[in-house]
Amino acid sequence: MNLLRIACVFAGLGLACTIPDLPIPNTITDPFRLQVQNATVARVHNKFTNLVASGGGDQHLFIDPVGTPTSNFTLSQGVIQWQNVRAVIGGEYSQIDSTTKMFMTGRGDPRAIFEPVYGCNPDTDEVQIELEFVTWQNHPAGGWICVRPSYDNGHEFRYYPPDNNKVDPNRTCYRVTLVVVPAGDGTVEGLP
């Protein structure tokens, strides 16, 4: 964990929050809201993840202002869960930037696997828990999650694969940090 702290300082972000010297379990049962951060892209920075019901019990993921806010995501062995659906990657592949949709379903599609890590909030410098993207299950490790402009000024969630450098000039998919924000007045285990 000290490495992370050093990384924060060395990234020149002027951040120096004190990272707890504790492992974070990769299961988080305390309900949370899922925030996206990219301090250089105001249109997505600090927005929250919402759900839009789709066919077959699926839920599609968007950030404000599209969709219904939810404050009860959980994490089970690195997989984001909400009620009986979980975050998976698959479908709506875009040739132009090689991205693939991330959404929630109860079916068996390969999961999006994350690892909770500590980080420093880029605005407040407070300790936060981030969900670092590890892999699309059954695919090469790496890549990241980005949000791409969608309808009604919202943005949808996409997977950007490793060893990719393609960008859609008309519809940039902005790389984001996913952040666990405790629901309501609650807390999430591991946060100071």
CB 43, CB 65: distance < 8 Å: no
Nearer to ligand NAG, 21 or 185 (CB): 185
CA distance 72 to 83: 8
Nearer to ligand NAG, 22 or 166 (CB): 166
User: How far from 1 is each of 91, 93, 124, 181, CA to CA, in Å?
Assistant: 35, 35, 20, 20
41 binds ligand NAG, rule: CB under 6 A:
yes
Part of the chain binding ligand NAG (CB under 6 A), chosen from 48-56, 99-107, 124-132, 169-177: 169-177
Part of the chain binding ligand NAG (CB under 6 A), chosen from 37-45, 50-58, 102-110, 150-158: 37-45
Nearer to ligand NAG, 15 or 127 (CB): 15
Q: Which of 32, 103, 133, 174 binds ligand NAG (CB under 6 A)?
A: 174
175 binds ligand NAG, rule: CB under 6 A:
yes
Q: Considering the complex, what minimum distance in angstroms separates the CB of residue 148 from ligand NAG?
A: 10
CA distance 159 to 114: 12
CA distance 47 to 50: 9
Residue 120 falls in which region: left (phi positive, over 0), alpha (psi -120 to 50) or beta: beta
38 binds ligand NAG, rule: CB under 6 A:
yes
Nearer to ligand NAG, 8 or 113 (CB): 8
Part of the chain binding ligand NAG (CB under 6 A), chosen from 58-66, 124-132, 134-142, 170-178: 170-178
72 binds ligand NAG, rule: CB under 6 A:
yes
52 binds ligand NAG, rule: CB under 6 A:
no
CA distance 72 to 180: 11
The residue ranges of DSSP E strands in the chain, in sequence order, are 28-37, 47-53, 59-63, 68-69, 73-76, 79-82, 85-89, 100-105, 112-120, 127-136, 144-149, 155-160, 174-175, 177-182
Residues that bind ligand NAG (CB under 6 A): 31, 38, 40-41, 72, 83, 169-170, 174-175, 177
